[in-house]
Structure 1
Amino acid sequence: MDKINELIETLNLENHLTIEEMPDLDLYMDQIIQIFESKFSSSKRDEDEKILTKTMINNYAKGKLFFPIKNKKYSKEHLILISLIYQMKGALSIKDIKVALNKVNEKITEDDFNIDNLYNSYLYLSEQNRGRFVEDIQESANEVSRQVSLLEDKDSNYLEQLLLVASLVNMSNYYRRAAEKIIDEIGNKKETT
């Protein structure tokens, strides 16, 4: 695939909401949505796609993915949790996200937990993952090209695209399944305590 570097550039992999971009004051739902729309609009697949909606936030609240809000306002802690939910929802079910975040929510409300430090660690790891991903996708594209050259077919460009898609989805499934197993462990620990 000749255009793999162009593809990587269009992914906006460095696009994360940082602690510095989060206001220290409580916000209304519309303000939260506006922050997410402005930050992640370049990640949209098409113009009609919604990054975050009132319905999504209400569903997260009803599903208890984050601790209750006060006076219809969301704190910085809520914003961090919504950002984590936004990142996880592409691969995990709402049920799994709830299990993953349940103890963090408890720690915030009961222990005065500093979620900023946890979120900064997540951002650091995301940056490290981005570097590994770029190297891995370039290596995968090269391997796909080698495999397609063995096929000696006139539709080699299409076959490269198809095999790369299948390979990337395969890797995505491995990562998702590993995350689900870890969530199962988190859920089992909660049931036994």
Structure 2
Amino acid sequence: MTSFERWQANLGKIQLPHWDELPDLDLYVDQVVALVNDRAMGMGIAPITKSMINNYVKKGIIMAPVKKKYSRYQLAAVIMIAMLKGSFSIPSIHEGIKQVTINNYPQQAYDRFVDLMNARLHNESAAVDNQLDPVNDQLINYVVETLFNRMQAAELLKTMQETQQPRDVKKG
């Protein structure tokens, strides 16, 4: 089994948390960083830092914490941003989140993202969801496919670089 195949098999062990599985109690930024990085670790997602979260708050991408604590809503937003920042610009992520939550509760949009991503990680089909507007659901589907394909491409390239050295091209 190649390292890429092992990586793919390990994806099946990853389970992103649904809204109701996120901590009930508000968290400090260090706790948010630890929780998000722990969940994203096996997917090849770049870690998130306190500075990043502080910048997202300053730019209005996520709501400011209340008494230095972050709620479920903010935690879900940080999870989404952490996962998507390697594939999309931060302003695009912000606009996408705002768009899919215009007529729906953030919990429904977040849970749909999690359902689709978990299905993709486990190489399964996700159930049809009629709670979201069909266009919003399609956007979330495209985002998950883009994220998953980027993750696979990055991991495959890493594996290839470990096993094969590219030849230098010489002018001549």
Q: What TM-score results when the alignment is normalised by the length of structure 2?
A: 0.59
Cα shift readout 1:36-81 (whole Å, capped 9, x = no counterpart): 2333334458xxxx62211010111122212232222111100111
- Equivalenced residue count is 128
Q: CA deviation at 1:129?
A: 3.0
Tell me the residue number matched to 2:95: 99
What letter is aligned with 2:54? Answer: N
**Distance in 1 between residues matched to 2:50 and 2:30, nearest whole Å:** 8
Gaps of 5+ in 2: 125-144, 150-162, 167-172
* Structure 2 residue 5 is matched with structure 1 residue 9: no
**8 Å contact kept, 1:25–1:75:** yes
Q: Give aligned-pair identity as a percent.
A: 25
Q: Which has the higher helix share?
A: 1
Q: 1:74 aligns with which of 67, 70, 74?
A: 70
Structure 1 residues 94 and 74, CA gap change in structure 2 (3 angstroms): same
| Structure whose CA Rg is larger | 1
TM-aligned CA deviation for residue 100 of structure 1: 1.5
1:33 aligns with 2:24: no
CA contact (8 A) 2:25 2:71 kept: yes
What is the aligned partner in structure 2 of residue 60 from structure 1? 56
- CA change 1:14–1:41 in 2 (3 A) is closer
Superposition misfits of 4+ residues, deviation over 6 angstroms: none
CA RMSD of the aligned region, Å? Answer: 3.2
2:7 and 2:65 mapped to 1: Cα distance?
A: 39
Whether 1:127 and 2:118 are equivalent positions in the alignment is yes
* In 2, Cα distance between equivalents of 1:158 and 1:10: 23
Q: Deviations over 1:62-116 (max 9, x none)?
A: 22212232222111100111111111101011121122123467x5xxx9x6322
3-state DSSP class of the match of 2:96? Answer: helix
> Is the Cα–Cα contact under 8 Å of residues 36 and 82 in structure 2 kept in the other structure?
no
Shift in CA distance, 12/65, structure 1 to aligned 2, threshold 3 Å: farther
Structure-2 change in CA distance of 1:7 and 1:35 (3 Å): closer
What is the TM-score when the length of structure 1 is the normalising length? Answer: 0.53
